């Protein structure tokens, strides 16, 4: 990424938008670029969508949520973890 932009992904996104409008559909170079950089486009779209989701979560809950780390344990061949959480309705800390 140069300047924080996934250029191959953006290029494929532009190609797909052109194709949606029926432009350059038979252009062999654009088809090859699209096919070679398709995985980059998936990363590009995922970043855009998750950025939108993060913004929506920030609007819904502007205060960050803190979570306690689970406690991992091992007894013989058994591995497990315990997690403490606080139920906002009842208040006491329960161990799961």
In a domain, 93, yes or no: no
Regarding pTM above 0.85, the answer is no
- Which among 32, 26, 22, 37 has a CA at the least distance from the CA of 13? 37
In a domain, 96, yes or no: no
Distance CA 93, CA 89 (A): 11
In a domain, 64, yes or no: yes
In a domain, 1, yes or no: yes
In a domain, 72, yes or no: yes
Q: Which domain holds residue 80?
A: 1-86
pLDDT, tens digit, for every residue of 17-71?
A: 999 999 999 999 999 999 999 999 999 999 999 999 988 988 888 777 777 777 7
Number of structural domains in the chain: 1
């Amino acid at each position: 990424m140069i300047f924080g932009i996934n250029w191959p992904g953006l290029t494929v996104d532009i190609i797909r938008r052109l194709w949606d409008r029926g432009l350059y559909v038979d252009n062999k170079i654009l088809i090859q670029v699209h096919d070679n950089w398709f995985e980059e486009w998936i990363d590009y779209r995922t970043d855009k969508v998750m950025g939108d989701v993060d913004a929506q979560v920030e609007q819904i809950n502007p205060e960050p949520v803190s979570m306690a780390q689970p406690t991992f344990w091992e007894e013989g061949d058994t591995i497990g973890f315990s997690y403490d959480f606080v139920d906002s309705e009842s208040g006491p800390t329960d161990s799961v």
